[in-house]
Amino acid sequence: MGLELSFGIIGALVMSLVLIPSLLAILGYKARPKALFSRRAERGVLESLLERLGKFVSSHTRSIVIAAIAISVVAAIFVTKITREVNMVEYLPEGSEPRVAEELMEEHFGGSQFFSLDIKAENVKHPAVMHTMWKLGRELRAIEHVKNPQSIADLEAEMNFQMNDRRRVPKRVEEVDNLWLFIEGKEILEQMVDSTYTEAIVQGVVDEANTKVITDAVVEIRRLLARTPTELVAVELDKLGDDERTKVNELIADELARLAWLDLKYRTGSAPPQNELRDLIIEHLKEPAAPTEDDISRLEVRLANYISSEEFEIPTPRSVAEAIAARLSQNPKAEYEEVSSELESALKEADIQYEPDQIELAADFLHSEMQNFLKEIRVEHLLSAMTKRFDIELKGYLEEDLWGELWGINDELVYISKDDYQRIFGKPADAGEVVSYSVEFTGIPPLTKKFSDELLQSQIQSMVMALVMVFILMWILLRSITGGLLAMIPIAFTTLFDYGLMGAFGLPLDNASMSTASLAIGIGIDYTIHFITRFRLELSQSKDLEAALKTTLSTTGRAILVNALTVALGFCALFFSQIEPSRRLGALLAITMFVAATAAMTIYPAVIITLKPKFLERFNKKEVAK
């Protein structure tokens, strides 16, 4: 756009200096030199108004300057409210097919601004990587305007829920591999992980195409990635000393509190302070609640149902099953050997025949069931304490999600960052123990954010460059730094006014409106040049600032107004555009022309008369004639 405008202006200059004079000569037009600078040209209504304007400006210079400063301050306040918009949908008219499609996507499918977190690792099926992807999904869905995050880890967690009643990714390799068998070969895998299992993605979508919404979401996602460790180390809790166990428990509590807080925020819209959740979890990590009588009764019924069922390979009457269950449930923390001994003893007492391998399998299952039951009541007690302390109503997916996340208090294997490992153990982790992965944020939202940032940067650069170039030219023209600076006042005021107007009326800075400042500076400086050129001539003849001002406004002021009106009408043609940003640009530029002309004929002379700069004293008739 800049090149087109530059060539257009050069072309207009050439036509004005060559073509038009040639045509006038051909047509035989004769100039009237005496009337060229006459102060007594034919007076019309416009000339009378401009002369009155000159009188008003000369007699109210301080008031005009103060008013200009006040308007500038107000405009500067509104400038801070300008938003950036690079959404191409805004360029389409209401009701157009692409715009309707975008609205349908936002209403029914969560939006069209898709993004992905590309995960690369030696093996993305590793529990450390899978668990991280699952946590990233939990974090993403709590970010405002981010919808439908999903990854292969979510499928793994859902399968774990179906098989084991807890929606989370297991921490051990064999558990992840067992669940993977149920989803391997599914078509959806091709969209989430590559065939070599070295790359996977976490997908999501921003639900609005609004640039501010997108950029805010991108900032939050990048903050999330910045605090997510990419080098993890496995730690077996049963191998730790008391001090190390305490420190690792604090990390576990931090993670579980964060996950619980995210779920409560996502499902209910509010959540208790994260540090209070953490303190409660630490309490239950230090001292797990003992099974209550009701817990023991439930365990007894569960064991009795299993022993008397067909799944129990040793046929056992219900009465005997209940007796065995009663004996086992009295010591739910019993080791495998104790369970095997109790079971064998009870079966012998009931004179029930069995094979040795049957006892081993049955005792192993019963022991596993009892251990799992202890883990369940540990989560139940924590969840119950949480709901009572923070007045949480558990229902639907919230209870399922919290159950899966708080199951983490039972983990005997956890993954901590490499930095935390060194802090806790006082030594770096062995290279072979570190699980590393990388994350790359891609998709439409980060591109939109980059485009928006570059839009602002380009706007600032172009405006500063235009102001500097204009200042240098005015400095050369007026042969004064002070004169150059003062000549910047009208266009600086106009530019500030334009942006203040945009902020006040909620007009965004987009690809179209970003050119407003440069056009305001480039075209608006014309009026200042017109004014100061004639003002120099009149001042050289009358030596009276106020008289020179009145004459300048009643003569050259007419040309300035006609020029402003003509250019403004030209930009008004944009009102008929089908593209909304183009219509906004037309309105802004039309207003800009009148503001620039007004500033050149009021604010600029008011400042000159108030300050009476010395550079004006150097002007004389001979110098102007040159």
CATH of the domain at 76: 1.20.1640.10
328 and 183 in one domain? no
pTM for the model stands at 0.78
487 and 550 in one domain? yes
Q: Which domain holds residue 421?
A: 110-288+397-446
356 and 277 in one domain? no
189 and 334 in one domain? no
Which range is least confidently modeled, 89-98, 186-195, 462-471?
A: 89-98
Q: Is residue 550 part of a domain?
A: yes
Strands (E), 274-397: none
490 and 358 in one domain? no
209 and 140 in one domain? yes
Q: Is residue 505 part of a domain?
A: yes
Residues 6+ apart with CB under 8 A from 394: 383, 387, 402
Q: What is the pLDDT of residue 4?
A: 62
533 and 418 in one domain? no
In this prediction, residues 367-372 reach a mean pLDDT of 92
- Per-residue buried b or exposed e for 192-227, using 16+ beta carbons within 10 Å of the residue's own CB: bbeeebeebbbbbbbbbbbbebbbbbbebbeebeee
Q: Is residue 453 part of a domain?
A: no
160 and 58 in one domain? no
Sign for the CA dihedral angle at 160, 164, 169, 173 comes to negative
Q: With H, G, I as helix, E, B as strand and everything else as coil, classify residue 115.
A: strand
How far apart are alpha carbons 312 and 317 in whole angstroms? 11
Element (H, E) at 588: helix 580-598
Q: What is the pLDDT of residue 613?
A: 82
Q: Is residue 163 part of a domain?
A: yes
| Domain count of the fold of the chain | 4
Q: Is residue 169 part of a domain?
A: yes
226 and 131 in one domain? yes
Q: What is the pLDDT of residue 621?
A: 45
pLDDT of 446 above 80 = yes
Q: Which residue has the tokens 């009026």?
A: 527
How far apart are alpha carbons 118 and 116 in whole angstroms? 6
- C-alpha dihedral, 211 to 215 to 216 to 218, nearest 10°: 140
pLDDT band at 36 (very low <50, low <70, confident <90, very high): very low
pLDDT of 99 above 70 = no
Which range is least confidently modeled, 70-84, 92-106, 247-261, 459-473?
A: 92-106
pLDDT band at 624 (very low <50, low <70, confident <90, very high): very low
In this prediction, residues 528-546 reach a mean pLDDT of 83
Q: Is residue 93 part of a domain?
A: no
pLDDT of 533 above 50 = yes
- Residues belonging to the chain: 626
363 and 221 in one domain? no
Look at residues 323, 341, 375 and tell me which one is the last residue of a structural domain.
Answer: 375
Q: With H, G, I as helix, E, B as strand and everything else as coil, classify residue 251.
A: helix
pLDDT of 35 above 60 = no
607 and 523 in one domain? yes
Which range is least confidently modeled, 275-284, 341-350, 377-386?
A: 341-350
Residues 6+ apart with CB under 8 A from 223: none
Residues 6+ apart with CB under 8 A from 260: 271, 277, 281, 386, 402, 405, 406
- Phi then psi for 180, rounded to 5 degrees? -60, -30
Q: Is residue 440 part of a domain?
A: yes
In this prediction, residues 277-287 reach a mean pLDDT of 91
597 and 488 in one domain? yes
In this prediction, residues 522-536 reach a mean pLDDT of 86
